[in-house]
Amino acid sequence: MFIQGMLRRFKFRGVTLKLVILESGAKARTIKKYLGKGWIVDACNGHVQDLPSNRKSKDSSKAMWASNPGELPNPPWSWTDRAERVMSKITSKAKKSGVDEVYIATDPDREGEFIAWRLSEIMSDFDSVHRVSFNEITKDAVISAISNPQELDMDLVDAAIVRRLMDRLVGYRCSKFCRSWKLRSMGRVQTPTLGYIVERELEREAHVPKEYNSVSAFSNGIELKVRFHESDDSSAWFDDDGKHFPDRTSNTDEAKVTLEVINSERSLKLESVKDGTVSRRPKAPFSTDTMLQTSSSTLGWSISKTSKIASTLYQSGHITYIRTDSTRTNVSARNDVRKHIESKFGKNYLGDGVGESGKKKGNAGKKKGNVQDAHEAIRPTNPTMEIAGDDRDEKALYTLIWSRFAASQMSNSIRERRSMTFSCNGLDVPVTGTSSWRTHSGWEEVFSWSSNVVQTHPPEIGFSVGNSWGIDVDANMTTDFTKPPRRFSESSIIQQMKKDGIGRPSTYVSTVTKLVDRKYVEKDGSSLIPTVNGRTLWIEVAPFYNQTEVYGQGLFSYDFTSNMEEKLDLIEAGEASASDQWSQFVDIFRDMHNIALEKRREKPTVRQIQYLQAILNRMTDEDRNAVIGDKLVEELTGEEVRTIIDGLSDSAQSNIPPSEKQIATILKLVDRLNIDLSKFLNDIGESDISELTGGRGGSASNAIGSLIELDKDSPATEKQVATIISMTDSLEMPIEEAMDAVKTESIGVITKSDASILIGNLKKTINSKRRSKK
């Protein structure tokens, strides 16, 4: 009531209110503080409209929509969950308050532009609708953006639309395909990402541990190692990748003798010293992937926690936009932090600065073809503020981001290094070691909060050749085995995705999260381990789509997926036609999908194998041999299994218990028809549901048939509607023409029986067209 009263007062006094719409409430509260009176600032809570997904919508089951040449499809954009109510409140309040100008300030990326486009359509009744964006939520950035509104970037919008259409087509068609293996889903980016994790697990399983021995000792606080073999030695030790390790030997007896000699002598003679200096350069400011990786290694956080805390810091105005591939920063921010560094540490702590991909400033520039790089790196909005945030986690991540940005403008850290070679009486092989100490901390100074004790002085004994170095404690012999490759962690899989150009900053976290949620991958600490379903999807199902070499090795290959991401970037940059790219993708996918369907028919499905095996298990050895001979069921082709099943008598197929699906179908239909199960079973001559038999000719099948007959005038199921839409899409047949064939007004009122008839007819038409092509 208070707010409404204030709004009426503004209107009464002749003050024209303006409306700003953002994505989150936290961001809205921050910006409201900057704009003050005369502004309504509201949040739409993310996406407001998207491709239909509500099962009540007839379009929710469509994999794709038709379009005219040179145009993108124009699907019906449906409200997302609760969005209609949110936008209704925002619109109503704005109209009552006399708002005549609307500013849409969603995120400055592809998805943010798509949201802005949908909001501009929803708010089109207002006199003026402007698009504004900013890379940081500071007062100066917000006021500047509001003062300089832009037009919608339709290249960005088109890229977002094509990405949705691609993901929808692949997700719907391929997910249906993989259900033959009782799997849940496949995805354009999700499945190749799973591939990395499965392939790494296969590498681990194939690893053969290789034994090695090493001997080490400590003298004057420095670790020294025995150098057993040079690379040209016939006994030289190499790992599986061919890397030479001079301090390792396969000869256990030699290692034991070496250990005994060193512990007996307890003294080493310094034979030679090689001087050197090591200069360590700072790393570039954070991009999305490096922030997620470093937060994992430094703070021990999951990617979802880092993403959440970073979002809060951005929405509170403490850091710049968090979804970026860039390592560039603006001149003003760099100058501010350099002044702060010089004031706090001194001029000798300033460096040349590193920017794009770790290059020196001046070489920084936008990556060709990657529009996600249009933003700055992730940095503090106030570079002179070392601490920010409302709680411990926010402060920890902010400190990490500030340190990384400050370090990028600082001098290299410098260490003196001495590489030493020792001899020992009784040994034919040398002992080596390295001493190093830091002489200039440089950029490491701002990371002192996270580092261990650093050596800053050389050992007191000095480095005079001929000196004797005593052994601090007994030398140690280690016998160990090579380890298999490390499993991917959440952060390292994102690093791999970025390396191969799969996904973008806005999708990294959600892609990995989906794999875990859909139980294709499980987490063991920080490690990602593929489940049985995950392995099945990548090893058995994905190859059906990876047999056509178009862009790489097929639909779910890393090359193809990366190529599609690059095409989306080109659309975003205005360098490629969205409609052309979509049309090309549809043609390529159609070919790949049809090949996959043909290949699948060559092999029996999991369900077919399980069904036939259940029948064979109840046969005598003689009857079994008559059916499949001496073959295993797994050795049969798809055509052979279908022929065998079709040729089995009803009695053979009814001599098995009902499947879980048959029982579930009976219970579902009984519940839908609201009839008594016991009475129904008694009417068809069965005493109990547990007494039913399975198979197509079994009593369970007959019971389902009777229930379907009772249910035939009910509305068609969602699955039937989806099947009809998919089949008409495949035939490029208008849905109205299909409805006319069964004398039905629309697909929204088609009955189950009519849907069943129509599906049968459409299936015959599809099969006929396939045969004519052959």
Cα(461)–Cα(219) distance, integer angstroms: 10
**Partners of 238 in the beta sheet?**
244
Phi, psi for 354 (deg, rounded to 5): -115, 145
Residues annotated as catalytic (active site), given as ranges: 321
> What is the DSSP-derived secondary structure letter of residue 751?
B
Q: Residue 517 half-sphere exposure, CB side, CA atoms within 13 Å?
A: 9
3-state secondary structure 592-603: HHHHHHHHHHHC
CB 277 within 8 A of CB 349: no
Q: Which of 213, 225, 253, 220 is nearest to 424 (CA)?
A: 225
Angle value at C-alpha 347, between 343 and 349, nearest 5 degrees: 95
CA dist., res. 349 & res. 409, Å (int): 9
What are the tokens at 629? 């001979």
The one-character DSSP state at 383 is T
Amino acid at 294: T
Q: Identify any residues that bridge with 435 across adjacent strands, giving them in sequence order.
A: 418
DSSP 8-state code for residue 13: T
Residue 32 CA, chain-centre distance (Å), reads 34
**Edge-to-edge, what's the strand order for the sheet holding 128-131?**
39-43, 18-22, 101-104, 128-131
Token output for 708: 């379907």
Choose among 166, 176, 190: nearest CA to 583: 166
Which residues are within 8 A (CB) of 743 and not within 5 positions of it... i.e. 6 or more apart? none
Which string of b and e fits 298-317 if b means at least 16 CB within 10 Å? ebebbbebbbebbbbbbbbb
Closest CA to 604 of 635, 632, 634, 638: 638
Which residues make Cβ contacts (< 8 Å) with residue 687, sequence separation at least 6? 681
Instruction: Please give the Cα distance from 478 to 487 (Å, whole number).
Output: 25
Rounded CA Rg of the chain = 34
Query: Measuring CA to CA, how many Å separate 205 from each of 28, 243, 528, 541, 621?
Result: 51, 21, 15, 21, 37
CA distances from 75 to 165, 588, 598, 748 (A): 9, 21, 30, 17
Whole-angstrom distance, CA of residue 646 vs CA of residue 629: 17
Side chain identity, residue 61: S
- Measured distance CA(216)–CA(258) in Å, rounded: 10
Between CA 442 and CA 701 the distance in angstroms is: 77
Any alpha helices (H) in 408-470, and if so which ranges? Answer: none
Judge contact between 396 and 376, C-beta under 8 A.
no
State the Cα–Cα distance between residues 498 and 284, nearest whole angstrom.
Answer: 16
The CA-based diameter of the chain, rounded to the nearest angstrom, is 104
Contact assessment for residue 86 and residue 122, using Cβ atoms and an 8 Å cutoff? no
Cα dist from 102 to 33, 118, 378, 486, 740, whole Å: 18, 13, 29, 52, 46
Paired with 440 in beta bridges are 414
Angstrom distance (rounded) from CA 81 to CA 95 = 23
Identify the DSSP state of 299. I
Please tell me the total number of residues recorded for the chain in this structure: 774
| Ramachandran angles phi, psi of 417, nearest 5° | -135, 135
